[in-house]
Homo-oligomer: A and B are copies of this chain.
Amino acid sequence: HLIAVLPGDGIGPEVAAEARRVLEATGLDLVFEEAPVGGAAYDAAGHPLPPATLDLAHRADAILFGAVGDARYDGLERALRPEQAILGLRKELGLFANLRPAKLFNGLEDASALRPEIAATIDLVIVRELTGDVYFGLKSRGTSAEGLREGRDLMRYDEAEVARIARVGFETARTRGSRLCSVDKANVLETSQLWRDVVIEVAADYPDVALTHMYVDNAAMQLVRDPGQFDVIVTGNLFGDILSDQASMCAGSIGMLPSAALGATGKGLYEPIHGSAPDIAGQGKANPCAAILSAAMLLRHSLGEAAAADRIEAAVAAAIAGGARTADLGGNLSTRGMADRILAGL
């Protein structure tokens, strides 16, 4: 299996290195190849997603991604900014389904801004559509009929795009609590009305999954009020961007949460949900858990190695329960030190 390692910017290289070390420790037959991405790639090759990096991503069976972004690149035109690398990879590789689990780890009850008894109930997965919506609809800057500067972005979905992500939502719910909440804004948007219609149609194939619908503004409230009510949430690209970050923060430990971006084949891109954190880059302080848990998702979803994934996840949970803490969790373990604790438990 060829694993593309795209470390990226800021703390990306530090956490990706530890995730790679954990993958190597599984004893599985894996080949690693590295390439620059994001700001690092812009510096090296003039583009956040250079052809050689994209080519590696195409050849690989799975992609281990660090993080991209740095304020240094804010002045560049949008097409050259680090974030375009991740948008480009999603689109080029057809990675339409983003899986974002959010749960509270035993021992981290105090890390959440929510009351401990509410935070403890969080155990959900957000399934976010990743290659459509207003992210990828026609965009333009222009002049209005009145001669004013104008910005435009088309929000759109077609039934095939909605149906395939809905299926991922239902399938994910089946592996868990069999409850799926579809989030939209059907009282205002045609895109959402189509979304709701199609999700209901697809539901006919999943009579064993309990489907509910919620408006996005209400979902943002409910994720604070009673996050324990959710099992799996399926939603569009834009709403998913907002709600998944909110849910992660409710769980209290964005240094702990992984994500997967999957396509129709087994290939996937795996990345911690945290960003590049330029302020602590290069200091060996970053929490590697989210990257290591992303590596576990890689084993499960792209390589079919569920047992190895389970072992890694158990080792992370055990390290945390045993008191291992990086700075973000109020401790003083280094990035490497935290990974060592996890490796010791493997």
Interface size, chain A (Cβ < 8 Å): 63
For A113, list chain B residues within 8 Å (CB).
114-115, 118, 224-226
Is residue A221 contacting chain B, with contact meaning CB distance below 8 A? yes
| Given A113-B118, A144-B158, A148-B160, A153 contacting B221 (CB threshold 8 A) | no
Q: How far is the CB of A239 from chain B (nearest CB, A)?
A: 8
A155–B157 CB distance below 8 A:
no
Q: Are B246 and A151 in contact (CB under 8 A)?
A: no
Q: Given A113-B224, A148-B158, A148-B160, decide whether A83 and B246 contact each other with a Cβ distance below 8 A.
A: no
In residues 127-180 of chain A, which contact B (Cβ within 8 Å)?
134-135, 137, 139-141, 144, 146, 148-160
* Cβ–Cβ contact A188 & B155, under 8 A: no
Question: A139 with B190: in contact, given A114-B114, A144-B158, A224-B250 (CB under 8 Å)?
Answer: yes
Residue A281 at the chain B interface, CB threshold 8 Å: no
A149–chain B nearest beta-carbon distance, Å = 4
Contacts of A141 in B (CB 8 A): 190, 193-194
Closest CB of chain B to A227's CB: distance in Å? 8
Interface residue A301 (Cβ < 8 Å from any Cβ of B): no
A225–B153 CA distance with the chains assembled, in angstroms: 30
Complex Cα–Cα for A223 and B250 (A)? 10
A248 interface contact, C-beta 8 A: yes
Number of copies of chain A assembled together: 2
Most B CB contacts (10 A, CB to CB) among A152, A222, A241 go to A152
Task: Name the contact of A154 in the complex, choosing from B154, B157, B238 (C-beta under 8 A).
Answer: B154
Known: A158-B148, A158-B150, A241-B216. A189 touches B246 (CB 8 A): no
Residue A60 interfacial (CB < 8 Å): no
A270 interface residue (CB < 8 Å to B): no
Q: Which residue of B lies closest to A193 (CB)?
A: B151
User: Chain B nearest CB: distance from A47 CB in Å?
Assistant: 17
A94 to B155, CA, bound (A): 24
Closest to A116 in B: B115
Q: Which of B155, B198, B243 contacts A152 (CB 8 A)?
A: B155
Nearest CB to that of A148 among chain B residues?
Answer: B158
Q: Which residues of B contact A157 (CB under 8 A)?
A: 150-151
| A156 & B152 in contact (Cβ 8 Å cutoff) | yes
Of residues 241 through 258 on chain A, the ones whose CB sits less than 8 Å from some CB of chain B are: 241-246, 248-250, 254
The chain B residue sitting closest to A245, CB to CB, is B217
Chosen A-B contacts, 16 in total, with CB atoms closer than 8 Å, are A113-B118, A134-B188, A134-B189, A144-B158, A149-B197, A150-B194, A151-B194, A152-B155, A152-B156, A216-B242, A221-B254, A222-B249, A224-B224, A224-B246, A225-B249, A242-B242
Extra A-B contacts (20), CB below 8 Å, given A78-B193, A150-B158, A221-B246: A83-B187, A113-B224, A114-B114, A114-B115, A134-B155, A135-B188, A139-B189, A141-B190, A149-B159, A149-B198, A151-B158, A151-B192, A152-B190, A216-B241, A217-B241, A220-B220, A220-B245, A220-B246, A221-B245, A239-B242
